[in-house]
Amino acid sequence: MNAASSSVGALRYIPVVRDPKLLPIVEKVEAGERLTFDEGMTLYHTPDYNTLMWLANRVRERKHGDKTYFVHSMRLEFTNICYVGCTFCAFAARKGEARAWDYSVEDVVAKVREKWEPGLTELHMSSGHHPNRPWSYYPEMVRALNENFPGIQVKAFTAAEIEHLSKISKKPTLEVLRELKEAGLVALPGGGAEIFAERVRRQIAKNKVKAEKWLQIHREAHSLGIRTNATMLYGHIETLEERLDHMDRLRKLQDETGGFYSFIPLAFQPDANALAFNLGKTEFTTGLDDLRNLAVARLYLDNFDHIKGYWVMISSDLVQVSLDWGVSDIDGTIIEEHIAHAAGATSPLGLSRQKMVQLIQAAGRVPVERDALYNELRVYADSQWPMSNNQSPIQAYRH
């Protein structure tokens, strides 16, 4: 198939489609029609990566053009003490271990003040399931952060943590969310989803929130006006069908509520955790698998505004490439991340705002700084923090 023979209409560029199974998918994508589960699996299995990339980029540019989003954010884990025992986790510690930490509310405020940078807008917090902290600690912490750092947007507590807070407070999860919102919580991160398939959860996260409860907590958050994100941990024991089933459940909930901002695939980190040891797994996911996964997500999750390339887990180099594979958001500056690095991530602990802008510009895209709620704060021109040595032949090629 080529541009002359295609029935999809006059386009800027249409690749030669080498896999005939993709021809009807090209037609549907061009028509803006939803893909079926079987078509999603076709995307996962196709050897025609050029067309897969083109399709994902087509949708990405239809939604956002060249705009690529990032946030000036700080990551803070207020405790690594956790009783859940997920086999993929190298972050958690038992109470009393030498490497355990547990910050008081005052400690949390002091830690944020220590790491504070001008222009910081998002504080992202997710941590272990502490067995002894009282419920009052959590809304008190959110309230103290808002009081001490006016204008900061607190995005905190995964659905797994919300279920834990429900248990220790003996309150329904809806009430937990309501009280946290009253304290100043503005959004939930997407963690704790892992893979929804029960077969997998029994092996990697048997004590963590069940899939349906995770979805219900996000449904409740959306009903309160708390927007959220969604993740998927991949590259361990899951099948491709289980990955797509995970996306399918998210797509159905997004149809119902419209409350998700972004979908964030998280590549399994195979260091210092029981799952990697039991599997004899020492290799990270391949770049091709990472890119394919992002592209399938962009094409299947038609009702999600953003697919996020999480540079911490796939590297800042690959995240640049991912901007042609459906990605329109590359997360944030973070400042200091510990969860992925405990499991072997080799990326920096954080990136500067200047570096984020340069990464995006060098990939031929337009950097847009956002806040936690995806409000656009600043669009960066090419002249702002340019790369040296004629950094971006891609920019000239695109435009």
Average pLDDT score over residue span 338-365: 71
Q: What is the pLDDT of residues 80-134, one digit of tens each?
A: 999 988 887 777 788 888 889 999 999 999 999 998 988 999 999 999 999 999 9
Report which secondary-structure segment, H or E, holds 341: helix 339-342
The token pair at 311 is: 């540079």
Annotated binding site for S-adenosyl-L-methionine: 88, 194
- Percent of the chain at pLDDT exceeding 90: 72
Annotated binding site for [4Fe-4S] cluster: 82, 86, 89
pLDDT, residue 339, reads 47
pLDDT, residue 141, reads 98
Look at residue 212 and tell me whether its pLDDT is greater than 50.
yes
Domains and CATH numbers, the chain: 64-378 (3.20.20.70)
Annotated binding site: 82, 86, 88-89, 194
The token pair at 395 is: 């920019």
pTM given for the model: 0.89
Give the whole-angstrom CA distance, residue 220 versus residue 108. Answer: 27
Residue 193's pLDDT band (cuts 50, 70, 90): very high
Look at residue 388 and tell me whether its pLDDT is greater than 80.
no
Average pLDDT score over residue span 256-278: 86
pLDDT, residue 303, reads 99
Q: How many CB atoms lie within 10 A of CB 88?
A: 22
Q: What is the pLDDT of residues 224-249, one digit of tens each?
A: 999 999 999 999 999 999 999 999 99
Give the whole-angstrom CA distance, residue 152 versus residue 136. Answer: 21
Look at residue 150 and tell me whether its pLDDT is greater than 50.
yes
The answer to whether 79 touches 102, Cβ cutoff 8 Å, is yes
